[in-house]
Amino acid sequence: MIEVKEILRLWLEGRSLRAMTTLAGVDRKTVRRYVDAAEAAGLTQECGPVQLSDELLGTVVAAVRPDRPRGVGTARESLEAHRKQIAAWLKQDLTLAKVHVLLGRRGVVVPYRTLHRYAVTELGFGRRRPTVRVADGRPGEELQVDFGRLGLIPDPVGGVRRVTHGLIFTAVYSRHMFGYPTHRQTLEEVIAGFEAAWAFFGGVFKVVIPDNMKAIVDQADNTQPRLNDSFREYAQARGFAVDPARVRHPRDKPRVEKCVQYVRSSFFAGEDFTDLADCRERAASWCAHVAGERIHGTTCARPGEVFTAEEAPLLLAAPTQVFAIPVYTKPKVAPDRHVEVARALYSVPGELIGQRLTARADAQTVKLFHRGQLIKVHPRQEPGRRHTDPADLPSEVRAYAMRDLDALARRASGHGEHIGAYTAALLDHPLPWTKMRQVYRLLGLVRHHGADRVEQACTRALEVEAVNVGLIDRMLSRGLETDTTADNNTATGQPSTASSATQGPAPSSKVVPAAGRFVRDAGEFATGTGAGEQMRRPS
C-alpha cells in the first residue's frame, strides 16, 4: 500500500515515468500499471493528493494484483500439473530454455521467468549443493590423481604440435604435488606416470584415488567399480589400494581438482618446450622448487616441507624393479584348439572349442585361464608364430598335426614288426611328411582287417620289395596275404593262381624265384614246322 501510494503521489506531482521509476525504486512497467489502474479508478492530477484514500488504493491494488489464494498466478499454477515431467527433463540435463520449448509444444504457455522461478523454488534448479569439508586423513596415506589438458607442444618426430595432458598427483595431507606430461592416456603412459611419481615422492602411498580414466577403470560404479586387470595387478605389485572417484563427482577428489588449473596457469602457460622430454624434466623441477615451496592457501604451509617432515617417512618403499605390464584379453577357442593372443597362436587343452578364455600375456609367458582356473602356460611367441603342446591335441590326430614321424612309426610298430618295417619303408623319402597319409591308410587297414592279416601282407610285400599301400589293400581285399604264388605273380605281372585254381593242382609252398616280367616261352620264337608252328596254327 505504501509503495502504491508513493508512486501515485509522485504522479500527482507531475513527475515523469523515468523520475518516478528512479525515486520509487521499481520497474517502469510496474509504475505504468499502477498509474493506469488509478486513472481507471477516477484519479486525476487536477484534484491533488487528497484523492489518495484507502479505498482508492485498495481498488488500484486489487486491479494490479488480483487475489491469489495460493499466492501465485495462473501461469504458475499451470506448471504444477507438469511437475514430474519438468523434474525428469532437468535430471536429463536439459536446459531450462529447452524445457520451456517442450512445455509450449504441450500447450503449456507461460513466461520464461515464471518457469525459472518455479524451477528454482520448487525443484531446486540452479542451486549449488552444500558441501561438507572432509578431513585430510593421516600423513602418507592418500594420493589423489587426475588428468588435465595442458596445451600444445612440438613433436620433433612428426613435425607438428601435439596436445599434451598432465597426469597430476597430489598428496592429500601435505598438498605436495607432481605432474607428468604425456601425449596419450593409455595404460602404459599411466603406469609410467605412476612410476615417475613414486620416484619423485621417494615412496608409495597406501591409497590412490584416481579419476574414472579408461586406463584404470573398465566399468564405473559408485560402490563396486571394476578395475582394469592389468592396472589392478600393478597396484598389487606396488602395494597400494585403488578407490576411484564416482563419475561426474569432482568433489570426491577436490585436492587434485584445484591443482589442474594451477599447473596449467603457473607451469605450462607461456612456456616454450622443445619436446615432451623437455616438458617432463621442467615439470618435475617446477613441482619440487616452485609448487613445493609456495605457501599453500589452505594449509598456510609449504607443501614440500610438510611432506618431507611428516609424510615421506611413512610411505611404502619405492619400487626398485621395472614392472612388466601384462596384457589381458578374452580370446575364443578356435576349432583347431588354439587361441590368438597378441597375434600369436597357443594350444588349449581339453574340449573348450567355442568358449571364451582369459589370457594373460607378459614379456615371457602367456597364461590361459578358464573360469578362474589356470589351465595352460606357454612361452611368449612373436606375432605370427605358434606354440602347440602335443599333449593338448587328441591322440588320434596328434602325430599328424605335429608331423611327428617318430610317433607315427612307433604307433605302427606297436601293431607288428613287419608293419613297422613297412611304415619305415614308406617314410624313407626326401619329404617323409608327404607320405604320412599312406601310413594312416595302413593303420586304417589294421583297424578294418586286423593286425595279423596286415602283418602277413606286409611280410609278403617286403619279400618282393613292393612298397605300396594300395597293394596291401588289394591283397587283403582278395585274401592273398598268405598266398606265396600271388607274391610272385604280383612281381611278374602274371595272373594269380588263386584265381585259376580250376586249371591245375594247387602250387607247392616252395617259393619259386621271380622271373623277368616280360620273359616269353622259347617256342614263341621258333621258325620251323615243329611244335611251335603247330601251336600257332588255328584250331
Query: CA–CA distance from 293 to each of 157, 177, 221, 296 (Å)?
Result: 35, 11, 37, 9
Average pLDDT over residues 300-327: 94
Hey, what's the cell of 54? 484507502
Average pLDDT on 281-285 reads: 96
Lowest-pLDDT choice from 64-68, 464-468, 490-494, 519-523:
490-494
Task: Dump pLDDT digits (tens) for 419-467.
Answer: 889 888 888 887 776 777 788 788 888 888 888 888 888 988 887 777 8
Strands (E) across 123-204 are located at 142-155, 160-171, 177-182
148/142 Cα distance (integer angstroms): 20
Q: What cell was used for 401? A: 598335426
CA 48 to mean position of chain CA atoms? 84
Looking at residues 60-78, what average pLDDT do you find?
69
Helices (H), 220-331: 229-238, 254-262, 276-286, 303-306
**How many residues does the structure list for the chain?**
539
* Mean pLDDT within 115-127: 86
pLDDT at site 80: 87
Q: Which CATH architecture has domain 142-314?
A: 2-Layer Sandwich (3.30)
Give the Cα separation of 252 and 208 in Å (integer). 12
- pLDDT score of 438: 82
Dmax over CA atoms of the chain, in Å, equals 178
Show the cell assigned to 242: 585403488
Question: For the segment 29-40, what is each residue's pLDDT rounded down to a tens digit?
Answer: 888 888 888 888
Question: Strand, coil or helix: what is 102?
Answer: helix
Cα of first residue to Cα of last residue in the chain, in angstroms, is: 157
CA distance 64 to 42: 15
pLDDT at 345 over 90: yes
Contacts of 392 by beta carbon, 8 Å cutoff, 6+ apart: 337, 347, 348, 349, 376
Tell me the CB-side half-sphere exposure of residue 468, using CA atoms within 13 A.
9
Q: How many CB atoms lie within 10 A of CB 19?
A: 13
> Could you count the other beta carbons within 10 Å of the beta carbon of residue 175?
25
Residue 347 has pLDDT above 50, yes or no: yes
Please give the single-letter amino acid code of residue 128.
Answer: R
What pLDDT is recorded for position 74?
A: 77
What sign results for the dihedral spanned by CA atoms 390, 396, 402, 403? positive
pLDDT tens digits, 466-510: 788 888 888 888 887 776 554 455 444 444 443 333 334 444 334
Q: Contact 463/421 with Cβ under 8 angstroms?
A: no
Residue 133: Cβ within 10 Å count: 7
pLDDT for the residue numbered 71:
55
Least confident interval from 357-371, 430-444, 507-521:
507-521
DSSP assignment, residue 316? B
Residue 346 has pLDDT above 90, yes or no: yes
Contact yes or no for 402/390 (Cβ under 8 A): yes
CB 222 within 8 A of CB 263: no
The three grid cell numbers given for residue 286, joined into one nine-digit string: 617446477
With pLDDT > 70 as the criterion, what percentage of the chain qualifies?
Answer: 86
- Compute the distance between CA of residue 61 and CA of residue 300 in angstroms, rounded to an integer: 58
Minimal CA–CA distance to 272: which of 151, 149, 157, 182?
151
pTM exceeds cut of 0.95: no
**pLDDT score, position 503:** 39
Given a cut of 90, whether residue 177 has pLDDT beyond it is yes
CA-CA distances (angstroms) from residue 117 to 97, 100, 216?
13, 12, 43
- Mean pLDDT, residues 336-353 taken together: 92
Pairing state of beta strands 365-370 and 373-379? antiparallel
- Position 131 scores a pLDDT of 72
Q: Do 173 and 311 meet the contact criterion of CB atoms below 8 Å apart?
A: yes
Q: Look up residue 491 and give its three cell numbers.
A: 612281381
- Predicted confidence (pLDDT) per residue in 259-278, tens digit: 999 999 999 999 999 999 99
- For 31, 136, 196, the CA distances from 170, given in Å and listed in that order, are 58, 12, 13
